[in-house]
């Protein structure tokens, strides 16, 4: 699978640009703030229907305009898919494939797998459980559309239950019978989501540990444990008995939405006991495992987006990545870097075919301006 071209209209800092890409490596150069990451985000939109950076689509319209358009042609198993993503202010976002619009955007998730490695990935280790759930939910959703539908339904009923709990608090009176329809939906949905998360982690973990061993030189033992209230045998009873606390907190405090993934180094939380180098190795291993589990499940190589990571990695970790590029283990790569000479020097060490783009004054110059 590869992205053949990209067209942006009024997307972030780009009035209108059209780019044709190499099937192997494409590098975007420019000063910080020039708009390199915006190009990766546009690709993220085409693959996953949303931004990797900001939650609201309106944030991505060029200042002073009222819509944006992102277009791109993908070659997937020798079939051309023409994608068109349009968002107009105060209207629903529209995604079309070969001229046909989706009824639900979630139908598109998983068609074009993508892996993004970015500086903000450190939040997965240093942040709260929500960041780790988001990472695994995103992965599983790209490989299992049924999982995504379960998650959407769970969030729908959870939102309604929480709204009802708030109304009870405002009225200072609770009718517990009104909560039963939501409980009857949430409990089996939580159990189904838990099983899919557990099964996926069992498949994901060997890829992760293999990559960590390769990067670290087999110096440490790493593991990921899925922590969930749902794994308790008496979960349905525990969920129902938590009602009094829910009423006090005005929200549902028990369930699958409280899951966490415990990242451990030598049996200890890496967040507390890992060095900066160990955390970087852990993160790169997570992302490489994501790539290779996608490849195994989907039967195609995902797009790999590397956003300004050469500043964050040392030579050992860069070599590990580039060694896999040289061995043709990856498919199409998109790289951003504020220092073109560095990326060009790194890419000289491998036999990959690369195309370069320089970004300057909101314009993109294939090959550079020199």
| 72 annotated to a ligand binding site | no
| 252 annotated to a ligand binding site | no
Cβ within 8 Å of residue 120, ≥6 positions away = none
**Alpha-helix residue ranges (DSSP H) falling in 217-301:** 235-241, 243-249, 270-273, 276-298
At 8, phi and psi to the nearest 5?
-120, 135
Asked whether the CA dihedral 187, 189, 190, 196 is positive or negative, the reply is positive
| 266 annotated to a ligand binding site | no
Instruction: Identify which of 4, 156, 8 has the alpha carbon closest to the alpha carbon of residue 69.
Output: 8
Angstrom distance (rounded) from CA 209 to CA 284: 11
| 36 annotated to a ligand binding site | yes
Q: Parallel, antiparallel, or unpaired for β 268-269 and 260-265?
A: antiparallel
| 38 annotated to a ligand binding site | no
217: left (phi over 0), alpha (psi -120 to 50) or beta: left
Contact assessment for residue 355 and residue 2, using Cβ atoms and an 8 Å cutoff: no
What length is written for the chain? 370
Contact assessment for residue 335 and residue 359, using Cβ atoms and an 8 Å cutoff: no
| 274 annotated to a ligand binding site | no
Which tokens hold the place of 353? 């075919």
Annotated binding site: 30-37
Annotated binding site for ATP: 30-37
């Amino acid at each position: 699978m590869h992205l053949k071209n990209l067209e942006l209209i009024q997307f972030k800092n780009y009035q209108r640009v059209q780019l044709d890409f190499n099937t192997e490596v494409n590098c975007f150069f420019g000063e910080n703030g020039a708009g390199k990451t915006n190009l990766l985000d546009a690709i993220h939109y085409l693959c996953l229907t949303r931004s990797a950076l900001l939650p609201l689509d309106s944030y991505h319209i060029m200042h002073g305009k009222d819509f944006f358009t992102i277009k791109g042609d993908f070659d997937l198993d020798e079939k051309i898919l023409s994608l068109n993503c349009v968002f107009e202010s105060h209207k629903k976002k529209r995604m079309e494939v070969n001229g046909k619009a989706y009824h639900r955007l979630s139908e598109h998730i998983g068609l074009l797998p993508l892996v993004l490695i970015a500086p903000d990935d450190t939040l997965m280790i240093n942040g709260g459980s929500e960041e780790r759930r988001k990472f695994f939910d995103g992965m599983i959703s790209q490989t299992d559309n049924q999982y995504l539908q379960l998650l959407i339904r769970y969030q729908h009923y959870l939102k309604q239950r929480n709204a009802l709990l708030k109304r009870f608090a405002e009225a200072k009176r609770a009718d517990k019978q009104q909560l039963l329809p939501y409980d009857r939906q949430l409990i089996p949905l939580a159990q189904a989501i838990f099983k899919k998360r557990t099964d996926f982690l069992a498949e994901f973990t060997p890829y992760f540990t293999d990559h960590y061993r390769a990067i670290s030189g087999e110096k440490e033992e790493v593991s990921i444990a899925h922590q969930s209230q749902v794994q308790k045998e008496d979960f349905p009873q525990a969920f129902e008995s938590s009602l009094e606390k829910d009423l006090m907190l005005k929200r549902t405090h028990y369930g699958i939405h409280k899951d966490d993934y415990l990242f451990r180094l030598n049996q200890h939380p890496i967040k507390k006991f890992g060095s900066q180098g160990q955390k970087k190795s852990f993160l790169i291993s997570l992302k490489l495992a994501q790539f290779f589990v996608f490849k195994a499940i989907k039967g195609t190589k995902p797009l790999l987006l590397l956003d300004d990571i050469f500043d964050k990695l040392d030579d050992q970790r860069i070599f590990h990545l580039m060694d896999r590029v040289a061995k043709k283990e990856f498919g199409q790569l998109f790289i951003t870097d504020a220092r073109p000479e560095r990326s060009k020097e790194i890419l000289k060490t491998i036999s990959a075919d690369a195309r370069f783009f320089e970004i300057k004054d909101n314009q993109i110059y294939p090959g550079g301006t020199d």
